[in-house]
Amino acid sequence: MMDENNKNTKSSFITHEEKNPYIKYFRKDRLPTIFCSGCGIGIAINSFLKGFESSELDFNNLSLVSGIGCSSRIPGYINCDSLHTSHGRALSFGTGLKIANPDLDVVVFTGDGDAAAIGGNHLIHAARRNINLTVICINNNIYGMTGGQVSPTSPEGSLATTAPYGSIDTPFDLVDLVAAAGATFVGRWTTAHPLQLSKSIKNGLLNDGFSFIEIVSQCPTYYGRKNNLKTPVSMIKMFKENSINKRRADTLSDEELSAKIIVGEFVDKKREEFSEKIENLSYRESGKDTIRKSAYVV
């Protein structure tokens, strides 16, 4: 990770401006990022911004929320209102943000540890409520920020600093989990599928309800180094070779699917959205929508 700490003032770091069409959305004075070279987060950010552009939502209306971990650092680099919260709790902050101002488009960036371990309870309850948040979960199967510990999605047998003999734990399938809890849009892609990913992100953003997009991503620094995947390229290659589309996966047996990454869109359905229900209740009881930005007037 690079040093973010000597960047106290707005600078003019614009090296990649011409090369990256999405650089206009960045807080340029915060670049470079802290992410390791080869980290999948770069692909995740670009795919997100591409998906966001194609959704035709208003960038000025976008609020980003995150918890703690590498992926949770993303909002700090995007030039919109951003709330970098405590570990695991991004969804609860996002819930308050969205309910108190349903006009905002709220996107939550999280990781496997943040969303599925410490924040697992908030994840299932946000999905249950079908609150209109778009969750982008960058799953690298390891704790990167703290230096390579085992996570709730680490495959059995994989090595981590806290699984020196190989993980003996059973990993979560986040797609199954969130779908079962009631999410109305669920997708999964890897960093080897940027185009499909950005399309699913667009679909998630446009879904009026709880959307969950898992990005299986590489952490070359910790996961790769510990698990004999020496380079970012070898990790992306592994994703490409091992992923299998949902439509094909539906025809295969569990045995044939073992160690495969099933990608695609898993849930896309309609169900009444939660902040709308609160609006409706307010309308019924007070004759008005819920009040916006009232702290400045009452």
Partner 1 sequence: MTKELFIQGNEACARGAIEAGCRFFGGYPITPSTEIAEYLSIALPKVSGSFIQMEDEISAIGSVIGASWSGVKSMTATSGPGFSLMQENVGFAMMSETPLVIVDVQRGSPSTGQPTMAGQGDVMQVRWGSHGDYEPIAISPSSVQEFFDFTVRGFNLSEKYRVPVVILADEVIGHMRERILLPDKIETFKRVQPNEDPKDFLPFKNVENGTNPMPAFGDGYNIHVTGLTHNELGYPTTINPKVHSNLVKRLVNKILKNREDIVSCDFKYCDDADVVLIGYGAPVRSIMETVKIGRSNGLKIGYLKINTTWPFPEDEIAKLAKNVDDLMVVEMNLGQMVHELERVARGDANVHLFSEIGGTLPKPKDILNRILDLI
Q: CB of 166 within 8 A of CB of 213? A: no
Distance CA 7, CA 15 (A): 16
Q: CB of 224 within 8 A of CB of 232? A: yes
Cβ 90 to partner 1, closest distance in Å? 8
Cβ proximity to partner 1: between 164 and 283 the closer is: 283
Cβ proximity to partner 1: between 26 and 266 the closer is: 26
Give the footprint of partner 1 on residues 139-158 (CB under 8 A). none
Pick from 56, 165, 251, 296: which binds partner 1 (CB under 8 A)? 296
**Partner residues linked to 142 by β-bridges:** 150
State the DSSP H helix or E strand holding residue 100, giving kind and residue range, or none if neither.
Answer: helix 90-100
Q: CB of 213 within 8 A of CB of 197? A: yes
The interface region with partner 1, picked from 119-127, 221-229, 230-238, 246-254 by CB under 8 A, is 119-127
Q: What contacts 253, CB < 8 A, 6 or more positions away?
A: none
Give the footprint of partner 1 on residues 83-112 (CB under 8 A). 83-86, 89, 91-101, 103-104
User: Is residue 41 part of the contact set for partner 1 (CB under 8 A)?
Assistant: no
The interface region with partner 1, picked from 26-34, 138-146, 150-158, 181-189 by CB under 8 A, is 26-34
User: Is residue 290 part of the contact set for partner 1 (CB under 8 A)?
Assistant: yes
User: Is residue 187 part of the contact set for partner 1 (CB under 8 A)?
Assistant: no
Distance CA 51, CA 117 (A): 27
Q: Which of these, 51, 50, 154, 70, lies nearest to 110 by C-alpha position?
A: 70
Cβ proximity to partner 1: between 23 and 249 the closer is: 23
Look at phi and psi of residue 101 and say left if phi exceeds 0, alpha if psi is from -120 to 50, else beta.
beta
User: Is residue 272 part of the contact set for partner 1 (CB under 8 A)?
Assistant: no
User: Is residue 4 part of the contact set for partner 1 (CB under 8 A)?
Assistant: yes
Quote the tokens at residue 56.
């035709």
User: Is residue 12 part of the contact set for partner 1 (CB under 8 A)?
Assistant: no
Distance CA 170, CA 164 (A): 16
Chain centroid, CA 259 distance in Å = 22
For 62, the 3-state DSSP assignment is strand
Pick from 15, 61, 231, 245: which binds partner 1 (CB under 8 A)? 61
Cβ 78 to partner 1, closest distance in Å? 9
The interface region with partner 1, picked from 70-78, 109-117, 171-179, 193-201 by CB under 8 A, is 70-78
User: How many C-beta atoms surround the C-beta of residue 283 within 10 A?
Assistant: 12
Number of residues located near partner 1, criterion CB under 8 A: 59
Q: Which residues bind partner 1 (CB under 8 A)?
A: 3-8, 10, 27, 29-30, 60-61, 63, 65, 73, 75-76, 79-86, 89, 91-101, 103-104, 121-122, 125, 278, 281-282, 284-286, 288-298
